[in-house]
Amino acid sequence: MTTARELASIASLLADETRAALCLALLDGRAWTAGELARHVGVARSTTTGHLHRLVGGGLLTEHRQGRHRYVALADASVADLLEDLAARVEPGPSAPRGLRAVTADAALRRGRTCYDHLAGGLGVAVTDAMVRTGLLGADTLTPAGTAWFADTLTPAGAAWFADTLGEPLRPGRRPTARRCLDWTERRPHLAGAAGAALCAAFLGRTWVTRVGSGRAVRVTPAGTAALSTLFGPDPRWQHR
């Protein structure tokens, strides 16, 4: 059983703003070097290295060595789920004045991004809504607009859809097949779990979505707009921009 001390120890790892920024950067699901992370969060490399040692030691990150290079990544999908859940519970405060570049980058993240290995933002929620509406995901409640807090269930039709349409049959494993992840920008759930990971991999692999720069943001391609419209019907949230 988890003790209060152990819970406080994990919480303390995220109580530092720099360590929280490092973890949020790694939500793109890729491995980064300490130098890359230092430039991203705007702190000295020596400071970044110290924080990374604590995060690895606390089990939130894992490290991989390849030749002379040392890479770090989130330990697993459960850490990504924890970060996204915490971020969704933060009440947005008043926005400070920002430059055009920062505003543009924020808008891109809100339109669509990866959350570790699944789709999030407006795009991720739109695809999740469409899967509920078409009976691929079980729904707790479904509004006339087709939005829902979906049940953590992939229907038999959904399992067949992954195998037949995406060519990604889902096999039983330790990870839940379908899991709702509360989206921190949309404040509604998007699809995570093994199904969410397979969906994201298929969309990227077929170039229906592509990454925007080196961060987490993704955009729908013209091919993706056509494919998603064919699969789920038109939706402005997957129009190419």
> Which residues fall within 8 angstroms of residue 78, CB to CB, at 6 or more apart?
none
| 17-31, 58-72, 196-210: range with highest mean pLDDT | 196-210
> Which residues fall within 8 angstroms of residue 179, CB to CB, at 6 or more apart?
81, 152, 191, 192, 193, 196
> Which residues fall within 8 angstroms of residue 101, CB to CB, at 6 or more apart?
none
Looking at this protein, which amino acid is placed at residue 173? Answer: G
Indicate if 160 and 234 belong to the same structural domain.
yes
Indicate if 171 and 216 belong to the same structural domain.
yes
| Nearest to 209, CA basis, from 194, 195, 192, 226 | 226
Per-residue pLDDT tens over the stretch 188-236: 888 988 999 999 999 999 999 999 876 788 999 999 999 999 999 988 8
Q: In the chain, where do the E strands start and end?
A: 32-33, 61-66, 69-74, 113-115, 118-120, 137-139, 150-154, 179-182, 189-192, 209-211, 218-220
- Domain assignment present for residue 93? The answer is no
Is residue 80 over pLDDT 70? yes
**Residues 56-74, mean pLDDT to the nearest whole number:** 88
- Domain assignment present for residue 84? The answer is no
Q: Is pLDDT larger for residue 186 or for residue 35? A: 35
Instruction: Name the phi and psi angles at 114, rounded to 5.
Output: -100, 140
pLDDT band at 15 (very low <50, low <70, confident <90, very high): very high
Domain count, the chain: 2
- Domain assignment present for residue 88? The answer is no
Indicate if 45 and 130 belong to the same structural domain.
no
Indicate if 109 and 212 belong to the same structural domain.
yes
- Domain assignment present for residue 148? The answer is yes
